[in-house]
């Protein structure tokens, strides 16, 4: 974390003149550890109307009280670590747009509109400030070399044309929260970029000045600090993004959601099924992933979003079809974890899966299990998915009963797997389930579909 000293005696802002601040509300997250010397200058240059959130990470120089007296919102994060401080600030933010930057005087807050501009214009989803050193002493050689190596690996991994891991950055708050960022050390900035790319976010960079700072950085100021940061970032790079699987039936009247007829007609039940599937896929599109597969019974339709591959379901019972889905994942990405959900989760939120699937949260986990309130399960994930293991776990498990989930858990336990439990959810199987799911996600396609069908249902109910 670069947070120890104040601004340079004279600040020279070079390059493109920042555009005027947008009237849109913006929160600026400033991770802080002993930054009393820098805070007056930094906070004084925050664009007018934007809120500064200073996250105190255990300062002993009165930084928290000083920031508070200067009008900043102060958040305390006792867990040491750059990522811990950044994420505490993100969780405390309420504005639609959130910025991050070091508060040691090496970056000029007056240039923040450079990184927010492309997001506000709809041209990018995550913007990083590419540092341009104002003098040779602004950026130590060993730190620049380490940054160049990591940036090269980042370009190869994501395809984004990035040259810096820029500590000044901006994105929409909800998009960042949906990434489920798990690293709380120096890997946090890299994890944000990797997971943003895996979630389909458009990433770009724009030049910002990098100024000499007084004092020594806790990271780039020492070889040891740089080595520790590179170690954290390499651990994040080493974790492959997961494969996401959705087992689904094409929403054809008379073939899907037959338990919903009555009170709805087969055509109405199919419309609800199609909306549930579309919402589920839309949500999962925001979950960082390497591959996304719909394991489908029937033809694809206009409900299929970009970035999803379709593979046909095999013959046999549901247990065999679920096992075969994991076999597909093994063939496509054998080193990546795989997680499967059904098409009946229109109320699913991306964070529910993103956080437990993050690189750090995967450590020591062999499987993920999401219980359904009716006794079944809505999600199953395997850290090392193989067709053999999937068949061992799933074949012969009675499906669509009140004991399905319990039987699967017994199989997971018998296989010696360490299981992380996901939150319980309601599967959309009955008309009561329909209303519960729609109430949990009132802005989705599923809820809108239900509202459009409500008069007809009431007339026939």
Q: Express each pLDDT in 132-185 by its tens digit.
A: 988 777 677 767 777 777 777 878 888 888 889 899 999 999 999 999 999 998
CB environment 211-232: b (16+ within 10 A), e (fewer): bbbebebbbbbeeebbeebbeb
* Model pLDDT, residue 146: 73
Rounded-to-5 percentages of helix, strand, coil across the chain: 40, 15, 45
Superfamily of domain 243-460: Spore Coat Polysaccharide Biosynthesis Protein SpsA; Chain A (3.90.550.10)
Phi, psi of 257 (to 5 degrees): 50, 45
- pLDDT higher than 50, residue 202: yes
* Model pLDDT, residue 134: 80
* Model pLDDT, residue 150: 78
Q: How far apart are CA 265 and CA 281, in angstroms?
A: 24
Q: Which residue would you say has higher pLDDT here, 18 or 83?
A: 83
* Model pLDDT, residue 159: 84
The alpha carbon dihedral of 143, 149, 152, 158 has a sign of negative
End-to-end CA distance of the chain: 62
Q: CATH assignment of 26-238, given 3.90.550.10, 1.10.1040.10, 3.10.20.340, 3.40.50.720?
A: 3.90.550.10
Query: Mean per-residue pLDDT for 409-435?
Result: 95
Instruction: Pull the structure tokens for residue 8.
Output: 């340079």
Instruction: Pull the structure tokens for residue 173.
Output: 């708050």
Taking a C-beta distance cutoff of 8 angstroms, is the pair 54, 32 a contact? yes
Q: How far apart are CA 353 and CA 284, in angstroms?
A: 9
Percent of the chain beyond pLDDT 90? 76
Alpha-helix residue ranges (DSSP H) falling in 286-341: 318-332
| Sheet arrangement for strand 73-76 | 73-76, 51-56, 26-32, 97-100, 169-172, 126-133, 203-210
pLDDT tier, 461 (very low <50, low <70, confident <90, very high otherwise): very low
Query: Mean per-residue pLDDT for 1-14?
Result: 34
Query: Mean per-residue pLDDT for 215-244?
Result: 69
Taking a C-beta distance cutoff of 8 angstroms, is the pair 244, 291 a contact? yes
Q: Per-domain residue ranges for the chain? A: 26-238, 243-460
One fold for 26-238 and 243-460: yes
* Model pLDDT, residue 387: 94
Instruction: Pull the structure tokens for residue 410.
Output: 């017994």
Q: How far apart are CA 41 and CA 60, in angstroms?
A: 19
Instruction: Pull the structure tokens for residue 179.
Output: 């990434």
In the 8-state DSSP scheme, what is residue 184? -
Q: How far apart are CA 344 and CA 371, in angstroms?
A: 13
Query: Mean per-residue pLDDT for 233-259?
Result: 91
Instruction: Pull the structure tokens for residue 201.
Output: 């976010």
pTM: 0.85
Alpha-helix residue ranges (DSSP H) falling in 286-430: 318-332, 350-357, 387-394, 404-414
* Model pLDDT, residue 212: 75
Q: How far apart are CA 393 and CA 366, in angstroms?
A: 13
């Amino acid at each position: 974390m670069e947070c120890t000293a104040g601004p340079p005696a004279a600040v020279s802002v070079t390059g493109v003149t920042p555009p005027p601040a947008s009237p849109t509300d913006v929160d600026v997250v400033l991770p802080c550890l002993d930054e009393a010397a820098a805070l007056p200058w930094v906070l004084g240059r925050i664009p007018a109307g934007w809120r500064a959130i200073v996250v105190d990470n255990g300062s002993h120089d009165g930084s928290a009280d000083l920031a508070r007296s200067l009008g900043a919102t102060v958040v305390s994060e006792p867990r040491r670590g750059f990522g811990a401080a950044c994420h505490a600030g993100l969780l405390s933010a309420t504005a639609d747009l959130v910025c991050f930057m070091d508060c040691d005087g090496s970056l000029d807050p007056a240039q923040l509109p450079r990184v927010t501009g492309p997001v506000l214009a709809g041209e990018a989803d995550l913007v990083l400030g590419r540092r341009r050193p104002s003098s040779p002493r602004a950026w130590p050689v060993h730190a620049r070399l380490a940054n160049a190596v990591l940036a090269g690996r980042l370009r190869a991994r994501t395809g984004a044309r990035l040259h810096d891991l820029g500590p000044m950055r901006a994105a929409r708050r909800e998009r960042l929260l949906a990434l489920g960022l798990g690293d709380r050390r120096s890997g946090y900035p890299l994890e944000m970029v990797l997971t943003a790319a895996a979630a389909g976010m458009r990433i770009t960079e724009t030049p910002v000045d990098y100024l000499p700072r007084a004092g020594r950085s806790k990271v780039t100021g020492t070889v040891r600090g740089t080595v520790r940061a590179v170690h954290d970032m390499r651990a994040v790079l080493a974790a492959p993004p997961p494969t996401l699987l959705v087992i689904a039936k094409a929403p054809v009247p008379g073939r899907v959601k037959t338990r919903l007829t009555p009170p709805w007609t087969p055509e109405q039940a199919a419309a609800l099924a199609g909306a549930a599937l579309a919402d589920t896929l839309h949500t999962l599109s925001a979950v960082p992933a390497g591959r996304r597969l719909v394991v489908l019974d029937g033809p694809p339709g206009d409900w299929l979003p970009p970035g999803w591959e379709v593979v046909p379901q095999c013959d046999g019972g549901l247990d065999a079809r679920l096992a075969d889905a994991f076999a597909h994942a093994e063939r496509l990405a054998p080193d990546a974890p795989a997680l499967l959900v059904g098409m009946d989760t229109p109320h699913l939120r991306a964070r529910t899966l993103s956080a437990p699937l993050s690189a750090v949260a995967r450590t020591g986990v062999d499987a993920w299990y999401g219980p359904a309130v009716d006794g079944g399960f809505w999600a199953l994930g395997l850290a090392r998915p193989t067709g053999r293991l999937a068949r061992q776990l799933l074949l012969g498990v009675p499906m669509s009963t009140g004991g399905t989930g319990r039987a699967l858990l017994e199989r997971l336990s018998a296989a010696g797997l360490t299981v992380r439990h996901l939150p319980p959810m309601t599967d959309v199987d009955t008309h009561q389930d329909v209303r519960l799911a729609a109430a949990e996600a009132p802005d989705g396609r599923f809820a809108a579909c239900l509202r459009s069908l409500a008069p007809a249902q009431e007339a026939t109910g």
